[in-house]
Chains A and B, each alone.
Chain A
Amino acid sequence: MLSRRLAVAALTLLASSGVALAHGPTRQKVVEKIAIDAPADAVWAQVKNFDALAKWHPAVAESLADKGNAEGSVRQIKLKGGGALTETLERYNEAGKSYTYRAKDGGALPVTNYTSTITVSGEGAKSTVEWRGAFYRGFPNNDPPPDQNDEAAVKAITGVYQAGLANLKKLAEKK
């Protein structure tokens, strides 16, 4: 009886503290760029296929896409370290050497509502690849655990982009 009353009191406390606390998460972003000593066309050729991620990202084991580079194509990513991601191609711009995709919530990254764009630009023998993403942290409410807070989300996405871009540079500059 006592424990039940205590439980109710605890629940009430939880509920009221939840109400008293502020707004949920705010949207975060990561923008990473890398300069590559290779023409933009050549770099784009390596990343342009939505299902080619496994060929240039060192953390990705598989990246099969069901409709190639058509908007709406869904790629199933398996990571080498375990874990999976499902991403849908939202926008594909061959002329602008750019594509945008959106991840399904609940994947291996501690983020939600995650969209990402990769763009290759350049002049002559040099190019720049920009990879950017917008997302919310994994934990939707206040007081997130450390592995699902804003910092964890930014760190994870930064890691994905930096590792991918570094390896892409290595591949593209290899003769």
Chain B
Amino acid sequence: MPSLPVTALLLLLALPAAALAAPFAYITNQADHTVTVIDLATDQPVATVPVDKSPAGVVAVSAAGKVFVTAPDSNAVSVIDMKTRRTVATLPAGQGAVGIDAAPDGQRVYVADWFGQHLLGFDTGTHAEVLRVKLGRAPAGVAVSPDGRHVYVAERDDNVVAVVDVAAAAVVARVPTGEHPFALLVDGPRRRLYALNVYSDDLSVIDIRDPARPQRAGTVKVGKAPYGAALAAGGKRLYVTNQRDDSVSVVDPDTLALVQTLRGFGYPEGIASVGDRVLVVNWMDENVSVLDARTGRELKRVDTGRNPRGFGAFIGAPGSR
């Protein structure tokens, strides 16, 4: 009987701690084989962490206190401890790991193996491989359904998104996209998936109300070579980086109308949002633009290493586990 109030008290204590934990951005520098850690309380780089070769994809898993980075030239995933800011493990990950995302509970990460054509799952605690599912051609971006039961993978060269049922360890459906889908983003509240199509310069809006049976629900035209997407401003804005247009498209996800096109970026790639800010990785300029999420105004630029990618959900908070 007393366990209930205790649990409630613990929850109460845990919640503000999670909300207040200072976030950090973890940016993969492909030409330096490092990750730049940016303290988002001060917008200053605070560490450069050596990782395996040519890091591209990244997911910061706050619940596990770790950052997982795909290193395609090492056929590996590097694991960074958020607290010590050191690489603590290298996981063999097929033949060119690219996209990566974490389950909502942080217990697993899922990695797309580009040349090996598999989806690989790893336990974020033990680092054991816990899932291996055969995929189609050039699997790139990965996104996990809000309930964690399905993983979506962009099969870029097949112009589809594959739906992997985690429990069944099998592809259970495929949904057509535009041309060359690369990055994926789940919009939990709207129960949607966005697939960014690098060749057709648009994004496919996919209804995932039934997570196992996704349906095409619309297309939004953006700039040339859309590469990364993030929801910001409490989910009221969808930001999309357009790599070959040096721009960022701002979309109203409720109406799917283009609200704004922001310019002056340098081959923008990865993008992530926290609080009232959006971070855009400028591959060409070797820095990160910090934007005001409501207005899109650039507040600051923070230097990274060479050829930064930041492909994935690169913001996390080590204190919020």
The residues of A with any CB-CB pair to B shorter than 8 Å are 19-24, 26-27, 29, 31, 90-91, 100, 102, 115, 117, 132, 134
Instruction: Assess the B75–A29 pair: CB atoms within 8 A.
Output: no
Q: A90-B244, A91-B245, A102-B244 are in contact. Are A23 and B75 (CB under 8 A)?
A: yes
Main secondary structure of the interface of B (DSSP, over half): loop
- Check if B74 is an interface residue, CB within 8 A of chain A: yes
State which of B30, B73, B246, B284 has its C-beta within 8 Å of the C-beta of A22: B73
Q: A91-B245, A115-B244 are in contact. Are A23 and B284 (CB under 8 A)?
A: no
List residues of chain A with CB within 8 A of the CB of B68. Answer: none
List residues of chain A with CB within 8 A of the CB of B75. Answer: 22-23
State which of A19, A23, A100, A117 has its C-beta within 8 Å of the C-beta of B72: A23
* CA–CA, A91 and B225, complex, Å: 13
* 21 A-B residue pairs with CB within 8 Å: A20-B95, A21-B95, A22-B73, A22-B74, A22-B95, A22-B96, A23-B54, A23-B72, A24-B96, A26-B54, A26-B72, A26-B73, A26-B307, A27-B30, A27-B307, A31-B284, A90-B224, A115-B244, A117-B246, A134-B283, A134-B284
The residues of B with any CB-CB pair to A shorter than 8 Å are 30-31, 53-54, 72-75, 95-96, 114-116, 224, 244-246, 267, 283-284, 307
Instruction: Assess the A22–B72 pair: CB atoms within 8 A.
Output: yes
List residues of chain B with CB within 8 A of the CB of A132. Answer: 284
State which of A23, A29, A134 has its C-beta within 8 Å of the C-beta of B95: A23
* CA–CA, A90 and B267, complex, Å: 14
State which of B54, B72, B114, B307 has its C-beta within 8 Å of the C-beta of A29: B307
List residues of chain A with CB within 8 A of the CB of B31. Answer: 26
Instruction: Assess the B73–A23 pair: CB atoms within 8 A.
Output: yes
Instruction: Assess the B30–A26 pair: CB atoms within 8 A.
Output: yes
Instruction: Assess the B245–A23 pair: CB atoms within 8 A.
Output: no
Q: A22-B75, A26-B30 are in contact. Are A134 and B114 (CB under 8 A)?
A: no
Q: Closest CB of chain A to B74's CB: distance in Å?
A: 7
* CA–CA, A117 and B267, complex, Å: 11
* CA–CA, A19 and B75, complex, Å: 11
Q: Looking across the interface, which residue of chain B has its beta carbon closest to that of A29?
A: B284
* CA–CA, A66 and B260, complex, Å: 32
* CA–CA, A5 and B178, complex, Å: 44
Given contacts A22-B53, A23-B95, A27-B307, 15 further A-B contacts (CB under 8 A): A19-B116, A22-B72, A22-B74, A22-B96, A23-B72, A23-B114, A26-B31, A26-B72, A29-B307, A90-B244, A91-B245, A100-B246, A132-B284, A134-B283, A134-B284
